[in-house]
Amino acid sequence: MENVKVTIDNQTVEVPKGTTIYKAAKQIGIDIPVLCYMELEDIGIENKPGGCRVCSVEVEGRHNLAPACATEVFDGMAVKTHTMRVINARRTIVEFLLSDHPKDCLTCKKSGNCELQDLAIKLGIREIPGQEYAEMSTYKTDYSPSIVRELDKCIMCRRCESMCNDFQTVGALNAINRGFDAAVAPAFEMDLQYSPCTYCGQCVAVCPTGALTEVDHSRDLIDAISDPNTTVVAQTAPAVRAALGEEFGMEPGTLVTGKMVSALRELGFDYVFDTDFAADLTIMEEGHELLDRLNRHLQGDSDVKLPMLTSCCPAWVRFIEHHFPDMKDIPSSARSPQQMFGSIAKTYFADQIETPREKMVVVSVMPCLAKKYESQREEFAEDGNPDVDFSVTTRELAHLIKEANLDLKNLSDDDFDRPMGESTGAGVIFGTTGGVIEAATRTAYELQTGQQLNDQIVFEQLRGFEGIRKANVDFNGTPINIGIAHGLGNARKLLEQIKRGESDFHAIEIMACPGGCIGGGGQPLHHNDTKILKARQQAIYQEDQNKPIRKSHENPQIQKLYKDFLGEPLGQKAHELLHTKYFDLSRKIEIS
Amino acid sequence: MHLLVCGGTGCRASASDSIAESLKEQLHHHNMDHEVQVILTGCFGFCEKGPIVKVLPDNTFYTEVKPEDASDIVAEHLVKGRQVERLLYKAPSGEQVTDSRHMDFYKKQIRIALRNCGFIDPENIDEYIARDGYLALGTVLNEMTPQQVIDQVKESGLRGRGGGGFPAGKKWEFAYKNESDQKYVVCNADEGDPGAFMDRSILEGDPHAVLEAMAICGYATGADQGLIYIRAEYPLAIKRLKIAIEQAREYGLLGQQIFDSHFNFDIQLRYGAGAFVCGEETALIHSMEGERGEPTFKPPYPAQSGYLEKPTNVNNVETYANVPVIINKGPGWFSKIGTQKATGTKVFALAGKVNNVGLIEVPMGTTLREVIFEIGGGIKGGKKFKAVQTGGPSGGCLTEEHLDTPIDFDNLLAVGSMMGSGGMIVMDEDDCMVSVAKFFLEFTVEESCGKCAPCRVGNKRMHELLERITQGKAEKKDLQRLKNMCHVIADTSLCGLGQTAPSPVLSTMENFWDEYVAHVEDQRCPAGSCKELMRYEIIPENCVGCTACARKCPVGAITGERKQVHEIDQDKCIKCGACLDACKFDAVTIK
Amino acid sequence: MSSIKVKIKQQDLNKIREICQAHGNEPGELINVLQQTQEHFGYLPAEIQEAVANELGLPVAKVYGVVTFYSFFTMIPQGRYPISICTGTACYVRGADNVLQEFKRQLGIAVGETSEDGKFSLNCLRCVGACGLAPVVLVGDKTYGRVSPDGVKDIIAEYQDKE
């Protein structure tokens, strides 16, 4: 690769040809402010519309300012990033953006975590000239089950559009209108719930302002805890413990499992359980289902559907329901861990504590926005009483902990309650891409071959961060082909392969978010630094390694659950409580 | 003998096709069908006095012809050999001009791009061929290498006529040098400049010139597919292009193995759906791909990665129209016309407050004064010249002091305007320069794609501020702010639309600063055109109570008994000026 | 839970299919398809856009994004006598704005709207290339040149009694 020399603010740096001014400057510690620009390095997404122009810099010999994010350097280029011309332009542009932006920062959900606000602070903007007669864009606010869209706050950075279309290939969001009226919205500006949105929340995860945020359930949670007649049960997803610490200034990748448990107790939850327990339960059902399909296939049953796809990710489930309805019989019928937890909590555990389900509130703490929607799906309720009452995100929990004035860093490391707090390393790794299928492989292998895995419990070939991964696991002479995809765009590629009959996979794990749940839409914002996701992934694997038991079928509380209550995996009761079916949610053109 | 009837849009709007029909009927009536041919041509350019009928070979030029004049033209001129005097063009001096070549309007013009407009039937390929049509394509295919073609275009000095003025030959060379299995040649016919209709007239009057040039460009760059991106609002141009493409295919001038060479080339039409920004080449390409017409950052340039990510050469209609002539007459002939840095001619749509509104083609280097006062015949109604706007929404307003500037790309830029695609609007003393700036800004705000913040929000804010100024609600310090906004928007916008959007504001501030100050400090519009700043009042001493004004007032704002002094209710008045026009006693005044 | 249903008439769907097929059901032909579709239906209501999206295999959000970008496309049915006022520069300096205001006042509709009886719709366009006749007004295909605010009444009257 050819290198070129470029001088930025009188410092010379040598970079490969094709490097942008922004990146070259970064190499020598010059941080040029950007707003619309977003590079998610590890997942190959770059949003570079050159739209906000906040990164404008002066290039010697050029008649106008150059956007640093999009302009490639050339040999001998001389760049100035803080001349008065640049500063004035940057300031004027931010004033322009603010002139069409609500000024409700004090009460905005993104306050303190907003890139536009940060910029306004950094530039010391104190007034918006002409604001009194400046027309502002107004749109109605859209409340879907998971996501709130307040387009008044949209600055047209197009990041959400990139995530929704390029990364997820969902196509719910697109730029609409033009000029001053331009915004990013679903077709006909209808609400998200009438669009093919999967509620994956990746748009929310990258939105620099308060235009896209989660539906906030923290008030509901406070109400439930405040009610003395209600038993409030918490379940916490595996990925939450690997990220929550970031909200409290800890290094990405810091595990805060015990501190999180004690914080939840301090907040007043009656029981603090672990979704990992339900993940183990999921493996029991899904693992047996996989073996059942596999064995029937090996015996020559041509009706059996293979590959079997995982079904823990509600955004992924909604994706197949919307975009591939004719393939809705391929995913495992096993419910997600969140929902398995809910149905066991409100039956098995409710019996144990002799509390009717109406008096219980099951709250999930999730890295995810689609989980909010999933908990509201009609099929996951009994007589209108949902198995999971509502779901809060890692971010909402962090806010509550801060609101309660709890110092997470210095809380004691507590243990989950029993019985539903007992879990294995297999349950933990559900939080990362490849984890579900690794957990399933650990159990399926032992059940199928009758042999103990012992030292080979880690399946390295299933781990990693590439969008699509393939592995072949030898089940004692039977080669099993496993596929893994994270990101719905990658999932789409595998689905299309299956559709064309070109797939030789037996099982495929799919997660909607980059890196799996660790990169979920409800996690602390990564602000475009995907190294954070990798650190979280390492934390998850660390937690697995720390666990004394690392295979789901060896979880003693799971074994007890089957013995005392459920009977056999895939049995009658398990079918009723732990399995589900899928619907065709696609748009249908019908003749009137 | 030929009777040429102008079939351009302006003349057609005044029923020129019925004129042609009537002429044919009259000829039939006089049994002259076989001797005299009636041809509906492209635009003659002299739109002011349309519809035009021209008699060849004697160049008699009839103006403002009506269908009922057909009998006189045939019976008098053709049968008896006497010109119909009442239809002859009268120069402002009052003198009747019998030969169009002697008209001031045409005297200074050199027609290269418009060479066939008004001379041939654009729906008949034989007429194009008869005037050396497709000769250049034959020469190129039989005698030249692609590099030689590029060299000739480079040598001619031809620069893009669409606005930027980028050397065409250089552009072709980029596309030629980028190797690819597939390349494209695109003709930008998405003329969207308000007040410009050059491209439309060429396509309507001489579609084959563009087809031939695109094929030449295809040969030179290595493309076998041409695409014309044309405004859907140009139905006549579309129709004629379709006919021309069909005819060229029939004649083997498009399609496989053209002129028995190994060169294949065909052309398709793509329709623009009303977005000015699609004149920008990357936006145009996205639009042709079925996307929103948003520009993208360059590089990559279309010559590297254009339509469907293949190397693509984009030129506009007028640029292409010059190419066959350059090949036929040689680059040396072409480069002798015009100035050293800007060779050849430029077509302008001359409009506004001039006597001779129309389409003109002049050598580069002609002065604004020659265009406005000689070709254009001066200012309408004997009013005073105030400004001329060139370059449309990207250009600026020039004044008296710029009138002797020779027109070319660089000179116009140097004085704060630009060539643009060729709109030239003349303004007189009644035009308020702040309002003119506001008019162009309104256009930009409407046409901004919304992708980049300075153009999306900044231009909106500028427009709002200009609105305040024209309402007398702005303060002096706002003018400074306006200037700053202009500089930042020009400095930071993503594409040419945004970068040049402030030009009308900047140039009017530069040249008519006092006018801005008058609006702001005295709440006064010196041109008397800003409605919010004026009051219509009745001068009691002059009012005779004739009721004419009250009857004309569309909103019933004027009251008064017959033979009594009338009064205007200022709350109701919409300042339309009808009363002023109606009053014969100078009793209505503007304050 | 069930799918989202979009209702459309059989003959309309057939027409859309015919247009899409004529363009090879190519997503890249979206704008040409929309042009022809609008030419046939007069406007592009939601269900038509849904059907086009479905035929071309595009997200409907994208189709809507394109429809709302280009001024030529409309989701509002046009009046039987669509009135377009040229607001190009030449017409502007010769008083097009006053003519426009007069049309707005007399018809009681804003630019981009259609009168309640469905008779007239009002639009602006930029330069029809008849600058010699400025200011220019078009009603359907018919061109009116050198229109003054005074003349607006007569133009409307010409169509008022027509069906």
Regarding whether B275 and B160 lie in a shared domain, the answer is yes
How is domain C81-160 classified at the CATH fold level?
Glutaredoxin (3.40.30)
Residue corresponding to tokens 């002798």: B336
- Taking an 8 Å cut-off on Cβ atoms, the answer to whether C132 and B48 are in contact is yes
Q: Check if C61 contacts A (Cβ < 8 Å).
A: yes
Instruction: Name the closest residue on chain B to residue A72, using Cα atoms.
Output: B299
Catalytic residue of the set A14, A41, A46, A379: A379
Q: Check if C72 contacts A (Cβ < 8 Å).
A: no
pTM of this structure: 0.94
Q: Does residue B423 contact residue C89 with C-beta atoms inside 8 Å?
A: yes
A77-88 b/e (C-beta count within 10 Å ≥ 16 → b): bebbbeeebbee
Chain B residues touching residue C129 (CB < 8 angstroms): 8-10, 197, 200-201, 349
The DSSP 8-state label assigned to residue B276 in this structure reads G
Position B328 in a domain: yes
Residues from C contacting B (CB-CB < 8 Å) are 26-32, 34-35, 65-66, 69-73, 87-94, 98, 101-102, 105, 125-134, 136, 143, 145, 149-150
What is the average pLDDT across C106-119? 91
Distance CA B297, CA B311 (A): 16
Distance CA A101, CA A287 (A): 51
Regarding whether B420 and B352 lie in a shared domain, the answer is yes
Does a cis peptide bond (omega within 30 degrees of 0) precede residue B454? no
Q: Check if C59 contacts A (Cβ < 8 Å).
A: yes
**For position A543, what pLDDT does the model report?**
96
Task: Enter the tokens of residue B505.
Answer: 């504001």
Give bridge partners of residue B268 from the DSSP assignment: B227
The residue range of the domain holding B307 is 131-334
- Taking an 8 Å cut-off on Cβ atoms, the answer to whether B351 and C131 are in contact is yes
Rg value, chain C, Cα: 19
Distance from CA of A330 to the nearest CA of C (A): 19
**For position B532, what pLDDT does the model report?**
87
**For position A177, what pLDDT does the model report?**
96
Report percent pLDDT > 90 for chain A.
96
Q: Check if B18 contacts C (Cβ < 8 Å).
A: no
Q: Count CB pairs under 8 A between chains B and C.
A: 148
Q: Does residue C133 contact residue B14 with C-beta atoms inside 8 Å?
A: yes
Distance CA B205, CA B226 (A): 20
Residue corresponding to tokens 């008064």: B560
Q: How many domains does chain B have?
A: 5
Position B190 in a domain: yes
Provide φ and ψ at B200, rounded to 5°.
-60, -45
Residue corresponding to tokens 């024209």: B470
Catalytic residue of the set A150, A247, A286, A509: A286
What is the average pLDDT across A287-301? 93
Closest CA to A157 of A71, A51, A56, A54: A51
Regarding whether B159 and B305 lie in a shared domain, the answer is yes
A452-501 per-position pLDDT tens digit: 988 788 999 999 999 999 999 998 888 999 999 999 999 999 999 999 99
Closest CA to B490 of A77, A89, A91: A89
ipTM associated with this complex: 0.94
Closest CA to A364 of A396, A393, A385, A344: A393
- The domain that holds B554 is classified in CATH as 3.30.70.20
**For position A374, what pLDDT does the model report?**
98
**For position A577, what pLDDT does the model report?**
97
Q: Does residue B207 contact residue B242 with C-beta atoms inside 8 Å?
A: no
B542-572 per-position pLDDT tens digit: 999 999 999 988 888 999 999 999 999 988 8
* Known active-site residue A259: no
Distance CA A287, CA A439 (A): 9
**For position C150, what pLDDT does the model report?**
85
Chosen domain end from B400, B428, B456: B428
Position B120 in a domain: no
**For position B575, what pLDDT does the model report?**
83
CB-CB: which of C13, C50, C61 is closest to A591? C13
A365-394 per-position pLDDT tens digit: 999 999 999 999 999 999 999 999 999 999
Regarding whether B283 and B247 lie in a shared domain, the answer is yes
Chain B residues touching residue C72 (CB < 8 angstroms): 232-233, 272-274
Q: Does residue C61 contact residue A174 with C-beta atoms inside 8 Å?
A: yes
Distance from CA of B338 to the nearest CA of C (A): 26
Q: B473: burial class by Cβ within 10 Å (0-12, 13-18, 19+)?
A: middle
Structural class in CATH, domain A98-214: alpha beta
Distance CA C65, CA B66 (A): 47
Residue type, A425: G
Q: Check if B270 contacts C (Cβ < 8 Å).
A: yes
Chosen domain end from B521, B552, B578: B521
Every domain of chain C with CATH number 3.40.30.10 lies at 81-160
Give bridge partners of residue B167 from the DSSP assignment: B159
CB-CB: which of A165, A172, A178 is closest to C69? A178
Distance CA A303, CA A297 (A): 8
- Taking an 8 Å cut-off on Cβ atoms, the answer to whether C89 and B289 are in contact is no
* Known active-site residue A286: yes
Residues from A contacting C (CB-CB < 8 Å) are 165, 170-178, 185-188, 194-196, 325, 377-378, 583-592
Position B575 in a domain: yes
Chosen domain end from B428, B455, B474: B428
Chain A residues touching residue C8 (CB < 8 angstroms): 589-592
Q: Is A559 a residue whose pLDDT tops 90?
A: yes
* Known active-site residue A379: yes
Q: Is C131 a residue whose pLDDT tops 90?
A: no
Which chains have 3+ CB pairs within 8 A of B? A, C
Q: Is C162 a residue whose pLDDT tops 90?
A: no
A189-221 per-position pLDDT tens digit: 999 999 999 999 999 999 999 999 999 999 999
Q: Are domains A3-82 and A219-578 of this chain identical in fold?
A: no
Domain ranges, ordered by start, for chain A: 3-82, 98-214, 219-578
Q: Cα angle at B201 between B101 and B205, to 5 degrees? A: 75
What is the average pLDDT across A159-179? 97
* Known active-site residue A371: yes
Q: Cα angle at C149 between C145 and C154, to 5 degrees? A: 70
pLDDT tens-place values along chain B, 591 residues long? 889 999 888 888 888 889 999 999 999 999 998 889 999 998 888 888 889 999 988 889 999 999 999 999 999 999 998 999 999 998 877 888 888 888 889 988 999 999 999 899 999 999 999 999 999 999 999 999 999 999 999 999 999 998 778 999 999 999 999 999 999 999 999 887 877 888 989 999 999 999 999 999 999 999 999 999 998 888 889 999 999 999 999 999 999 999 999 999 999 999 989 899 999 999 999 999 999 999 999 999 999 999 999 999 999 999 999 999 999 999 999 999 999 999 999 999 998 899 998 899 999 999 999 999 999 999 998 899 999 999 888 899 999 999 999 999 999 999 989 988 888 999 999 999 999 999 999 999 999 999 999 999 999 999 999 999 999 999 999 999 999 999 999 999 999 999 999 999 999 999 999 999 999 999 999 998 898 888 888 999 999 999 999 998 888 899 999 999 999 998 888 888 888 888 999 999 887
Residue corresponding to tokens 């139905």: B235
Q: Is C163 a residue whose pLDDT tops 80?
A: no
Position B118 in a domain: no
CATH of domain A3-82: 3.10.20.740
- Taking an 8 Å cut-off on Cβ atoms, the answer to whether C72 and B308 are in contact is no
* Known active-site residue A114: no
CB-CB: which of A52, A134, A177 is closest to B461? A134
Position B220 in a domain: yes
Q: Check if B292 contacts A (Cβ < 8 Å).
A: yes
How is domain A219-578 classified at the CATH fold level?
Rossmann fold (3.40.50)
**For position B534, what pLDDT does the model report?**
85
Instruction: Name the closest residue on chain C to residue B50, using Cα atoms.
Output: C132
Q: Cα angle at A15 between A12 and A18, to 5 degrees? A: 125
